[in-house]
């Protein structure tokens, strides 16, 4: 196994271990990744696994816990991450990268598995450039990590948001209302398009396509000639087209887009233009939580196994990716070179079915 040791100075007899961290916003399926990594490392390769707490913060601070078959028992179907997570990035803190390297050397970490969205994975790339063997696993309910069809957590978030839209459907219909539903997605509309399609929404507004509020209002008035209710799904990062109405994106306490801002604005602008009774629902943090769907458990398990196998085969600076039905490895550099917007053909499917 010497092939994957780069920064670690080993004495004879030292045991080399796998490290793992989960970073960024939490999502369902992270625990399934941890379980798969531990089981494969322990059962197939006889390796020990160290988990760092609260993402990169735990590596910088040397805050870790041993992960074993026993300590990961029964977590396959549980949401969140037993390691905790944070949005801490080593390159934003003095000396943090050095401290990361120190911790990894001290803990005899031969390879580090980094489970995160593009911020967390970008830090992984930087650390890998310092000589550490790093394997990335993409997770984000936004599904906007490049080079992979799916990220861990997305399927569950779509399922959760769809259930919510299903529920809102019955109340919209019973009360003849225009319901605006704001979902997550600050730069890509994957969740909005997917949950909107699955929930039978009538308008879907996404960051990829600035919207003309007058057109949206006209289409709703047209619809209400034969129907008495509507559902409008708005991604939190959707923005009006130039020249329609002024909207300055507000940022929340942690730099996030303020929940409900665009949703409330869309609701009131549409209410003004149509005269329909309207209500806003902001799904919020509910979208991040809960038991992962079967599809997310499977994806997480496959990624976890693939990451450990890739390390064995000498890979580094790569990320596991789903391409069709196959798990592949893609360079971390490519995966973190931007984000992945919703393609036009999926937006076109929505156009055909909405209204």
Site for its own copies contains 326 (CB under 8 A): yes
Pull the structure tokens for residue 157: 């978030």
In this chain, which of 10, 249, 258, 294 binds its own copies, going by CB under 8 A? Answer: 294
Site for its own copies contains 293 (CB under 8 A): yes
Q: SS3 for 187?
A: coil
Q: Which residue of the set 107, 118, 142, 144 is catalytic?
A: 142
In the complex, the smallest distance separating the C-beta of residue 341 from its own copies, rounded to whole angstroms, is: 12
In this chain, which of 85, 97, 151, 274 binds its own copies, going by CB under 8 A? Answer: 85
Site for its own copies contains 214 (CB under 8 A): no
In the complex, the smallest distance separating the C-beta of residue 134 from its own copies, rounded to whole angstroms, is: 21
In this chain, which of 285, 334, 338, 344 binds its own copies, going by CB under 8 A? Answer: 285
In the complex, the smallest distance separating the C-beta of residue 13 from its own copies, rounded to whole angstroms, is: 28
Query: Which residues within the stretch 150-169 sit at the binding site for its own copies (CB under 8 A)?
Result: 155, 158-164, 166-169
In this chain, which of 80, 110, 185, 237 binds its own copies, going by CB under 8 A? Answer: 80
Site for its own copies contains 225 (CB under 8 A): no
Site for its own copies contains 141 (CB under 8 A): no
Query: Which residues within the stretch 10-39 sit at the binding site for its own copies (CB under 8 A)?
Result: 22, 25-26, 28, 30, 35-36, 39
Site for its own copies contains 323 (CB under 8 A): yes
Give Cβ neighbours of residue 172 (< 8 Å, ≥ 6 apart): 178, 179, 229, 230, 231
Nearer to its own copies, 205 or 283 (CB): 283
In this chain, which of 194, 230, 274, 336 binds its own copies, going by CB under 8 A? Answer: 194
Query: Which residues within the stretch 51-70 sit at the binding site for its own copies (CB under 8 A)?
Result: 54
Site for its own copies contains 175 (CB under 8 A): yes
Query: Which residues within the stretch 227-256 sit at the binding site for its own copies (CB under 8 A)?
Result: 253-254
Query: Which residues within the stretch 255-274 sit at the binding site for its own copies (CB under 8 A)?
Result: 260
Active-site residue flag, 142: yes
Q: Say how many CA atoms lie within 13 Å of 164 toward its Cβ.
A: 26
Residue count at the site for its own copies (CB under 8 A)?
83
Point out the residues that are catalytic: 142
């Amino acid at each position: 196994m010497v092939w994957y040791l780069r920064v670690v100075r080993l004495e004879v007899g030292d045991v080399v271990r796998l490290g793992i961290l989960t970073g960024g916003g939490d999502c369902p399926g992270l625990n399934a990744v941890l379980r798969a990594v531990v089981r494969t490392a322990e059962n197939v390769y006889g390796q020990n696994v160290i988990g760092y707490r609260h993402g990169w913060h735990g590596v910088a601070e040397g805050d870790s816990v041993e992960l074993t078959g026993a300590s990961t028992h029964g977590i396959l179907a549980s949401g969140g991450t037993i390691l905790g997570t944070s949005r801490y990035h080593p390159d934003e803190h003095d000396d943090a990268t050095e401290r990361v390297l120190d911790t990894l050397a001290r803990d005899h970490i031969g390879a580090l598995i980094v489970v995160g969205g593009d911020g967390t994975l970008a830090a992984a790339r930087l650390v890998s450039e310092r000589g550490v063997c790093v394997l990335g696993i993409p997770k984000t309910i936004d599904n906007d990590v490049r080079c992979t069809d799916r990220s861990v957590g997305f399927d569950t978030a779509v399922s959760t948001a769809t259930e919510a839209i299903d529920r809102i459907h019955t109340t919209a219909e019973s009360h003849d209302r225009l319901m605006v539903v704001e979902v997550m997605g600050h730069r890509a509309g994957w969740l909005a398009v997917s949950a909107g399609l699955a929930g039978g929404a009538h308008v879907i507004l996404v960051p990829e396509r600035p919207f003309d509020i007058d057109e949206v209002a006209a289409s709703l008035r047209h619809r209400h000639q034969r129907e008495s209710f509507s559902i409008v799904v708005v991604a939190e990062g959707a923005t009006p087209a130039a020249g329609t109405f002024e909207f300055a994106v507000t940022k929340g306490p942690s730099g996030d887009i303020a929940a409900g801002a665009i949703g409330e604005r869309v609701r009131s602008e549409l209410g003004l233009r149509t005269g329909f009774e309207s209500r806003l629902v902001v799904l919020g943090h509910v979208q991040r939580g809960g038991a992962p769907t079967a599809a997310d458990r499977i994806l997480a398990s496959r990624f976890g196994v693939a990451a450990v196998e890739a390390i064995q085969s000498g890979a580094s600076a790569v990320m596991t990716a789903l391409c069709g039905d196959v798990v592949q490895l893609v360079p971390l550099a490519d995966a973190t070179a931007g984000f992945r917007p919703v393609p036009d053909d999926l937006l076109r499917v929505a156009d055909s079915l909405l209204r």
